Amino acid sequence: MAKRPTLWNRADGERYRAEAERAAAGQIARRDGVPIAESLDEIWPRLPPAERLVMEYLLLVGSPTVVSLHNDGFLDPLVDKGLLQKPIGVASVFLNYHDTTYDVPPAVWTALNANRARFLPATPEELERLRARARERLKDEIRVFEPRTGSAGR
C-alpha cells in the first residue's frame, strides 16, 4: 500500500501561521482604532460641528467614555467614522431601549491626547467657553463623567 502524499508540510504550516498572526494583528489594530488614529488629520477637519463638539468635549474633560440612548442615533455618525465604538456583545434590542456606553478607541484616544493643541483651543478662556457651550448643547443628548483632575487615560 502506497503512502498518500501529504498536502501539508512545514513550509506551508509556517506560512499559514504567519498569515494568521498578521490577520489577527490587523483585526486588533482595527479594533483599537489604529487606522483611524493614523488618519485623524484628514478626518478632523471634515467633522460637522456637532460631531466635533462631542469629541472636543470628551478630550476637554479627559473622559474617553460617553453615555447616550442608542436609538436616537445622535452618536451613530461618530461610530460610523470609527471615532466611537459601541460595546461589543450587547444585543441590538438592549441598545434600542437603554442608555449605552460608547468609547473612544484606545489608539484614537492616545492620538487625541498626544496632540491636544491641534484639537482644542489654546487659551484657558477659550477652553472654558468650549466646555460651557458643549455642556449646554449636549446636556440632553449625552452624559459624560468628568474626572476632577487632569486628563483621564485608559
**pLDDT tens digits, one per residue of 96-133:** 566 788 899 999 999 999 998 888 877 888 988 988 89
Report which residue type is found at 62: G
Residue 47: what pLDDT? 95
Count of domains observed in the chain? 1
| DSSP assignment letter at 143 | B
The per-residue b/e assignment along 105-117, b for 16 or more CB within 10 angstroms, e otherwise, is: bbbbbbbbbeeee
In a domain, 15, yes or no: no
Listed in sequence order, the residues at least 6 apart from 137 whose beta carbon sits closer than 8 Å to its beta carbon are 50, 53
Residue 137's alpha-carbon distances to 46, 48, 50, 104, 127, in angstroms, are: 20, 14, 9, 20, 15
pLDDT at 135 over 90: no
In a domain, 9, yes or no: no
**Per-range mean pLDDT, top range of 8-17, 58-67, 88-97:** 58-67
57-89 pLDDT, tens digit each? 999 888 999 988 766 778 889 999 999 998 776
Residue 153: what pLDDT? 38
* Rounded CA separation 144/147 (Å): 9
Q: Which residue has the higher pLDDT, 16 or 82?
A: 82
In a domain, 28, yes or no: no
Domain, as residue range, for 100: 36-138
In a domain, 71, yes or no: yes
Q: Kindly state the helix (H) or strand (E) to which residue 101 belongs, with its residue range.
A: strand 99-103
* Rounded CA separation 150/76 (Å): 28
Rg, the chain, Cα only: 21
For residue 39, name the pLDDT band (cuts at 50, 70, 90): very high
Report which residue type is found at 56: E
Q: Is the pTM of this model over 0.85?
A: no
* Rounded CA separation 154/140 (Å): 26
CATH number at residue 92: 1.10.10
The residues pairing with 66 across neighbouring beta strands, listed in sequence order, are 102
In a domain, 143, yes or no: no
Contacts of 49-52 with C-beta under 8 Å, sequence gap 24+, read 50/137, 51/77, 51/78, 51/81, 51/83
